[in-house]
Structure formats: C-alpha cells, structure tokens
Structure 1
Amino acid sequence: MAEYDVIVIGAGPGGYVAAIRCAQLGLRTACVEGRETLGGTCLNVGCIPSKALLHASHQLHEAQHNFAAMGLNADSPTVDWAKMLSYKDDVIGQNTKGIEFLFKKNKIDWLKGWATIPEAGKVSVDGETYGAKNIIIASGSVPASVPGADVTVDEKTVVTSTGALELSEIPKKMIVIGAGVIGLEMGSVYARLGAEVEVIEYLDAITPGMDAEVQRALQKLLTKQGLKFTMGAAVSKVDVADGKASVTYKLRKDDSDHTSDADVVLVATGRKPLTDGLGLETLGVELTDRGQIKTDTHWQTTVKGIYAIGDAIIGPMLAHKAEDEGMACAEVIAGKHGHVNYGVIPGVIYTWPEVASVGKTEADLKDEGRAYKVGKFSFMGNGRAKAVFAGDGFVKILVDKETDRILGCHIIGPSAGDLIHEVCVTMEYGGSAEDLALTCHAHPTFSEAVREAALACGDGAIHA
C-alpha cells in the first residue's frame, strides 16, 4: 500500500492549490480526482468557461453597439455558435493541461478515480487503498435544486450551469431561475447572443447579500441590456413537453399564479457541498444542518488527521476562498502557521458592467450600530471610462467615522473585479481611505475612480 504524507480529495482550485503547496513544503502528496481533467468545476464547467463565453459575447455587444461610434464601419458580425463553443473548450483545455503540468512539476501523484475514506489515515480510490498521515477533503459543490419545487434537470431543456455552457443551439427564450451570480452571468451571455431572457427570483432584490445600491444599479443596467426580471416569485414546478419548458410560479405580493414558457430553463439557485460517497457519517465527521463539514480554526474536522476546505465547509463558495484555505491548510499540516482573513475576501460578478465587493455593506454596519462614512464616485467622472463607453456605475467606500479605516468597498463599473484588489490590500494592512487618497494613481486609468471615492471620504473628490 502506497503511503503519503497528504492525500487531497478533489482537484478543483482548493484541492490542486493545497496539493501544490503541500508538495512545495516537502510533503509527499497525492491528489484524487475522478474527472478526466484536473481543475474541478471551476476550470471545467464553471468560472473559466463562463468567462470565455462572457468575453466572446461582450465583443459581439461592442461590435453591435459601439464600433460605429468609434468610426469602425463594418457589417454586424454573425455568431458561429459551434466555433464559439470550440473556443470555450480550447480555453478549458489550456487551463486544465496547465494544472496537469504543475502536478508533474511538483511530483504530485494523480490518483484517478473517486475517493472514499474507509478509516482515518486511509483513502480508497476505486477499490485501491492508499495510506495518508493527513487527508484534505476538497470535494467542492454541485448545483442545488429549487427549494420546494418540482423540477427535473435533464441538462438539455432544464439545465444547470453545466448544461448552459454547452447548449446545442442558442435558445429563442431562456428562463433563469435565480438572480444570483451564475444566473446573471449566463443570462447576460445569452441575452447578448440574441435570446430573450427572463430572470425569476424569489427575493425582492437581485444578488442577495450585496450592497443595496449596487443591487438596484445592476438590475437597472441589465434591464436596459434586455433582461426581464420577475421578482418576488416562488417557482413551484417546471414542466417539459416536446422540447419546450413551462415554469409555474406564484407572486408573493398578491399570491397570484403565473406561468412562463421558454426553450431552455436555467436552474441557478445556488450550490451545495458535495460530500456524498466519502463515508463521512461512518467516520464520525460532523456536518452542519446544511451539509457542510464542520472544521476548527485549523480546518481540521472532528476526526484527527482529516481536514476540509473550500465549498465543502462553511463560508462563501468562491474559488479564491478555497485556494486561500488550501494554502493555509497545507501550512498547518507542515507545522507552520496558516491563516485566512475571512474579512477580506472579495466577490465578483462578471456581467457588464462588472460588480465587485469586499468587507462590510451599509446594512451590515447599520445592524452593528457602527458609525461610518461613505465616499462615492461615479465612473461618469472618470476620463478613461468615458472614452471607452464605460461610464455606468460607481465606486463606494465605507470607512469608520472616527478612524477612517476602510471597512468595505463596493464597485459597479469597468474592470471592477481588478480594481477591488487595491482596496483589499489596503484593508489587509488596516489602512485608511486617506492612505488610498494620498497614493498616486496613473492617469488615465479606471483606478482613479477608486482614489476619488477615497478622497470623497475626506474633503471631497476632485472630479465630482
């Protein structure tokens, strides 16, 4: 029986990063993965392929709406859907092969198959058992079903994000159940490609948990792009007949029943931990009521020597959160100090405009009774943004009223997913809005909007 210092179960962002870090720290490491390629949901059927389609469809939008204004005159491009899917698959291949190369470079054994844990210190992969001083569960998550509804996913007419990435043709109409990140991103893709898109959401606001002002602005902008929103609607069932779908829902405001028809229904009501088949109950590994694995502050489960990270445990289901935990968990196993600052984990929505946030929202601070100030700056005052038809949106920074320490930031606008990180770095070091405001920013860049919002926390923005 082969013996390892660490066996990681799952080769998604959390798992493969944990495996690489363990190997870098001198631990003999193996990683179990049953897919034909490494990278987990993120690289194969999630983050990476969706960004490829978002990029391609955004270029189409630019050609249709902005090229002529810049003096670029040409016939409107047509969509070769098969070729676009091929481009998306090529992007997946480049990334997954990159992880395979990193495994070989770091001498990590890829145990191909699906894992169970028969007892602490052992991992069984398709019938073959391996010894491990430490086990890291990085099994990820799977799409969740619609709560209380009769919905059967066939990945053809009723699809999850996986099926939405490989539809045989662009639908004339798509219904998206759920106005979270996945639903809005994939809804944007198909709306740009010409589909009629209706988003049905149970709550009264999109992107639950985000800054309320950002929620309103994003919904308004997406509506202008052609997405239709039906809010406060509880879906009860989805019927499929002759390749078409019919969604039945009840509006909560007046208890009225409605139906809406579509060629494709995307179920985007969140994700749940994937722990089935690991044998955790027999081992005595405790789970939460939501099926998440309970861990201590060092990511160890209730069974010594078994750790868990990423989507399988409590916290936001974000690839970068899993990566941070993977590195920190590896450090702990190697006898070092692993740390994750959960207060500084950014979140991004890759619609157009992008949305990014980190730290507290205004609602959080009001609930805490904390005195705060708001610094806000519109991209309409940013020269670079106006030059590239990207003036929609704003940067909003929240700071402690007494100390000026940054408590949160919310951005809707161009490159928001990149801009958020200078705020993250400032927060990581306990910095203030004044620290940002006194830092020289290159002109003309989108990043100047962040500086202006920081200035607005003090005496005022310059270009407002």
Structure 2
Amino acid sequence: MAQQAQFDLVIIGSGPGGYVAAVRASQLGLKTAVVEKNARLGGVCLNVGCIPSKALLDSSEYYHLARERFAEYGIKTGKVSLDLAAMLARKDKVVEELTENVRKLLEGNNIEIVQGTATINAPGTIEVDTGKKKKTTLAAKNILLATGSAPIEVKGLEFDGKHIVSSTEALSFDTVPKHLGIVGGGYIGLELGSVWNRLGSKVTVIEMLPKIATTLDGQVGRTLDRILKRQGLAFKLNTKVAKATVARGKVRTVLESGDNTEEMSFDRLLVSIGRRPLTRGLGLEELGVETDPKTGQILVDETYRTSVDGIYAIGDLVPGPMLAHKASAEGTAAVECMAGRAGEVNYDTIPAVVYTWPEVASVGLTEEQVREREIPYCVGSFPFSGAGRARCMGETDGFVKLISHGKTDRILGVHIIGPRAADMIAECVLALEFGASSEDISRTIHGHPTFAEALMEAAMNVRKCSIYAS
C-alpha cells in the first residue's frame, strides 16, 4: 500500500456538503483531500438529484407552455412535437458542465481529488480502493463523512432499473410511459410526476397517508393537491401497494385501501418513499461510530463530531431534512469548528422547496405546528391573483401566507405556493434569521410590479392594513 502525505482533513464524498466543506477548509488553511467513488464529482444532487430533475422540470414546462398556452399570449407555433432524446441530452449537458465546474473549483483551491471507494480502517486512516492493484492509504487529522443518501428499496417492490425504478432511472426514461405509477406522494415523486405528466404520461400517485407532501403547511398542501389534480395527476391516498409483478412489459399491482383491493397496471412504477443514509462499507460499525437504530443516521454533537474523535459527519448522513443546502451549511460549519471557529447552522431557518408548478416554498413553523405548541399567532395571506406581475404572466394560482407571533409580531413561518416561490423564500429566510416582524416586511419597499409584492401585502394583512386584500 502506498502511504500518502498527512492531511489536515480528508472528506469522503464530493456532493454539496463535501465540496463546499473542502473549499472552506482550504480557505482556512487546512490541507485537504476529497475522496469520491464515482467518476463524476458533485454527488447525488448534481448527478442524479437536484440538478437533472430541475433541468427536466424546466424543459417539460417549456414543452407544456408551447403546446397548451402560447396561443393565449398571441404566439402561433403550429404543431409542437417532443424530442425526448434532445431533452435528455440537454439535461446531461447541464450535469456535465456543473460537475466539471466542481472539479475546477476543487483544483483551483489546491484540494487533492482521490477517485475510489473509501473505508476508514482507524481514526485518521482511510484506505481507498482506486481500482489498481495497490490500494491508497490517506492519513488525516480529521475525517468528514459526506457520502449522502440513496433511495429506500421496499420489499416486494425491488428496483429492476427498467420497470420498477428509483428516482435515478426516472430521470432517463427512453420513452414517455403511457401510465406512470408513483409510490409516495413526497417532493421527489410530485416533481418527477409533474415532468412526465407534462410530457404526456397518465400519472397516478399512490400514498399510504391521507394527504400528499405531509410536511407542508396544511392549507398549502391542500391547494397543491387541487392544482396538481387540475393538471391531470391522480392521487390514491390511504393506499398501499400490496403486490407488484412485472409481466409482458407491464407492472401489475394490487392496491389496498382499508378493506378494499384494486388492481392497476403501469408501464413504469417509480418507488419514491424516502432515502437512506449511505454508510455501508465505510467501516463505521468496526470503529464504534454511533448511529440511530431506526434511521441509520449518524449521531453527532453540535460540532458535527461523531462518537469517535476525529470523525465528523454532515448532510443526509445526520438527522434533519435531506436537503443539499442543509448539507452545504453543515459542511461549512463542521470545518469551521475543526479550525477552532464558531461554526453553526440555524435549523429553524432552513428553507424547503417543491419544484412543481406552481412552486412551493416554506421556512419556519407551519400553522399546525404553531397550534400544537400553543403559541399565540396571527396569519396574513395574499393571493397571487391580486399581484400585477402574476396577472401579466398569467400565473395567478396560489398565495403567500405569513404567520407571526400574536404578541410580539415576530415572524414564525412563511409559506408560499405560486410562481417564483423558490426565489421569493430567500427574503423570508433572511427575515427569520434576523428576527424580523411582519411589520418589518410590510414597511420594506418592494419593487412594482413583482411577485414579492404579494409577500409585502401578506405582511400588511397580518396587521389588517393591506391596501388590496379584502
């Protein structure tokens, strides 16, 4: 085995948590290496998650607009047809460019990139199988685990990569399924369901719980349900897949809802019920790194250190929402803690976004959570149908909902369903971070006409002095 130079930090995984942590470590003067088992850097997010799915969501939305809505804007196109291969090629190009940018970013910060599969033999010692005869050994003062997560596989619904698939394969179907079944009504299933629905699939979402997108504010979730149904998605709630078999190119399923059973046949079945942390093969059990027996997530302290000194973990590996921006924030904080600085993440101000159309974005507490905690509160809302910019674009679905403390007026949560919600939420995150009140938002001048005016109006409505709200 070839012994390499001592590093201050070796990071296993090059996703949004890993590569951001590496750059921050380099900025703080730490000699850093990143180990990545896949040919491309960027992890799940850049390769088979956030980036390719958003590329397809945008492409499919343009296709839908060209077919269904251009005429109302006075644009005549003639017959519009789908070139799925070109759409997928564009998605792949976007991924390739961004992953290459990550490589340049790491190299530009003098971070060593080691291609291979890592195993921690002992605290401070990482063995990397690079595919060559001799394995490479890296020595490090600290090790940061940032290996991300993978789709959960369900017994009886095992992935075959063609008919019963995970979100990875659902990004690259070679043809548009006539009927796509989706097991799970969470963010990933709804986003991919939206893609293939726009491209011509009949989409049926099967969810065990009584509603979709269960983490959303209830009012927002119900609105999203109505809009997606109007777009053509079908939902079977309180329903589970009891059996699935592949025969003659079809996935034949038996669905159970209470005492009732139903058979349905799909061209493809996407199983999207959640993700599990990727910890297998790292050697954590042998090292005694503590994990949650239920979730498999690694337990860490406030500095992201595991139960073993010198080993840290972030992102999907640790408790909390599995979001790329959460992993990036934790990566930065963990490295700053290693360097003796005060790194931390405010988990009360992590935004969440669902990239359906309209988009959904939220930060802070839902109305249900505020009630459960018996916090006195006020609510202000404003529909996008009342916003001039939304009218100009013909995108009037949805609303902004702002929840503030009933006595102090401090903002507790903001929930947006509507156009550009993913971008609008940034102002709300900043407001929560600085402890702003609804009055602070309402007295902040917003450009006109913009979508953000709806947030200002919702804030005004908390105090019952909106100009336009009834």
Give the TM-score of the pair, scaled to structure 2.
0.97
- Aligned residue number for residue 141 of structure 2: 133
- Aligned residue number for residue 36 of structure 1: 39
Alpha carbons 1:39, 1:96 under 8 Å: kept: yes
Alignment partners' CA distance in 1, 2:219 and 2:247 = 40
Which segments of 5 or more consecutive residues in structure 2 lack a partner in the other structure?
130-134
- Aligned residue number for residue 457 of structure 2: 452
2:291 counterpart of 1:287: yes
Superposition map of 1:35-434 within 5 A: 35-126=38-129, 127-146=135-154, 149-252=155-258, 255-289=259-293, 290-434=295-439
Tell me how far 1:462 sits from its aligned partner.
Answer: 1.6
Alignment partners' CA distance in 1, 2:79 and 2:364 = 42
Which segments of 5 or more consecutive residues in structure 1 lack a partner in the other structure?
none
Deviates more, 1:452-461 or 1:396-405: 452-461
Q: How many residue pairs end up in the alignment?
A: 460
Alignment partners' CA distance in 1, 2:74 and 2:318 = 52
- Provide Cα deviations, 1:264-305, integer angstroms capped at 9, x if missing partner: 000110101010000101000000021000000110000001
Tell me how far 1:460 sits from its aligned partner.
Answer: 2.8
Tell me how far 1:60 sits from its aligned partner.
Answer: 1.1
Alignment partners' CA distance in 1, 2:464 and 2:193 = 41
Structure 1 counterpart of 2:146, one-letter code: A
SS across alignment from 2:168: helix
Alignment partners' CA distance in 1, 2:141 and 2:29 = 14
Alpha carbons 1:134, 1:306 under 8 Å: kept: yes
SS across alignment from 1:463: coil
Tell me how far 1:65 sits from its aligned partner.
Answer: 2.1
Tell me how far 1:311 sits from its aligned partner.
Answer: 0.0
Structure 1 counterpart of 2:158, one-letter code: T
Tell me how far 1:167 sits from its aligned partner.
Answer: 1.1
Tell me how far 1:129 sits from its aligned partner.
Answer: 1.1
2:446 is matched with which residue: 434, 441, 445?
441
Structure 2 counterpart of 1:439, one-letter code: T
- Provide Cα deviations, 1:166-197, integer angstroms capped at 9, x if missing partner: 11111111001001000000000000000100
Structure 2 counterpart of 1:284, one-letter code: G
Structure 2 counterpart of 1:197, one-letter code: V
SS across alignment from 2:382: strand
Alpha carbons 1:377, 1:461 under 8 Å: kept: no
SS across alignment from 2:340: coil
Structure 1 counterpart of 2:151, one-letter code: P
Alpha carbons 1:203, 1:232 under 8 Å: kept: yes
Structure 2 counterpart of 1:93, one-letter code: E
- Provide Cα deviations, 1:74-124, integer angstroms capped at 9, x if missing partner: 213211011111000000011000000001100111110111100001111
SS across alignment from 1:222: helix
Tell me how far 1:228 sits from its aligned partner.
Answer: 0.5
Alignment partners' CA distance in 2, 1:293 and 1:248 = 36
The alignment-based identity, stated in percent, is: 48
Alignment partners' CA distance in 2, 1:69 and 1:294 = 54
Structure 2 counterpart of 1:171, one-letter code: P
Tell me how far 1:152 sits from its aligned partner.
Answer: 1.7
Alpha carbons 1:244, 1:264 under 8 Å: kept: yes
SS across alignment from 1:57: helix
- Provide Cα deviations, 1:363-395, integer angstroms capped at 9, x if missing partner: 111111111000100000001101111100000
SS across alignment from 1:161: coil
Alpha carbons 1:152, 1:238 under 8 Å: kept: no
Tell me how far 1:212 sits from its aligned partner.
Answer: 0.6
Alignment partners' CA distance in 1, 2:275 and 2:253 = 21
Alignment partners' CA distance in 1, 2:78 and 2:458 = 40
Alpha carbons 1:348, 1:357 under 8 Å: kept: yes
Give the TM-score of the pair, scaled to structure 1.
0.98
Structure 2 counterpart of 1:276, one-letter code: R
Alignment partners' CA distance in 1, 2:198 and 2:178 = 12
Alignment partners' CA distance in 2, 1:236 and 1:109 = 48
Structure 2 counterpart of 1:224, one-letter code: R
